[in-house]
Amino acid sequence: MKKKDILKHELVPHHEILSEEEVKKLLETYKISKDQLPRIRFDDPVVEAIKAKEGDVIRIVRKSPTAGVSVAYRIVSREIL
């Protein structure tokens, strides 16, 4: 399957890379540091498809059965915890 195709799959929510300003704003609103964000692996198929680099923060817009739309964030990371 082509890399871009996976983004169309029902199970895959919308991913987008945050700009630096957005990241700053995000960390301020939640009063957290970058390493407190959930992670996504640098070799995750979606990360490769949207060409995100290590250290990027990704916004994930999930379809949620309870809230309709819910937004989550993950940081692209190499190390495995």
Partner 1 sequence: MSKITEKAMIKRGLSKKLAEKVASFYTLEELKKADVKELEKKFGKDLNKILKAVGREIELEKVKAKAKEIKKVKKKKAEKKETPPKKKKVSVREKIINIINKRNEYLPSNIIDEFVEKIEENNLTDKIDILVEKAIEEYNRHLMEPLEACGMVAAQSIGEPGTQMTMRTFHYAGVAEINVTLGLPRLIEIVDARKDPSTPIMTVYLEGAYRVNREKAMEIANKIEVTRLINIAEIETDISNMKIIIKPSLKSMERKNIEMDDLLKALKKLNKVEIKKGKNEIEIFPEKENENYRELRRLSEEVKNIKIKGIDGIKRAIIRKEGDEHVIYTEGSNFEKVLEIEGVDKTRTVTNDIHAIYQVLGIEAARNAIINEAYSTLQEQGLNVDIRHIMLVADLMTANGSIRPIGRQGVSGEKGSVIARAAFEITVDHLLSAARKGEVDELKGVAENVIVGQPIKLGTGSVELAINIKKFSKKVKK
In whole angstroms, how close is the CB of 8 to partner 1 at the nearest point?
A: 5
Question: What is the nearest approach in angstroms of partner 1 to the Cβ of residue 36?
Answer: 11
CA–CA distance, 42 with 71 (Å, rounded to integer): 20
Contact between residue 60 and residue 71 where contact means Cβ atoms under 8 Å apart: yes
- What DSSP assignment string belongs to 4-40? GGGGGSTT--EEEEPPHHHHHHHHHHHT--GGGS-EE
Identify residues 56-75 at the interface with partner 1 (CB under 8 A). 60, 62, 64-70, 74
Query: Which string of x and - marks every residue 15-54 that binds partner 1 (by CB under 8 A)?
Result: x----------------------xxxx--xxxx-------
Q: Are 77 and 41 in contact (CB under 8 A)?
A: yes
Q: Which residues bind partner 1 (CB under 8 A)?
A: 1, 5-6, 8-13, 15, 38-41, 44-47, 60, 62, 64-70, 74, 77, 80-81
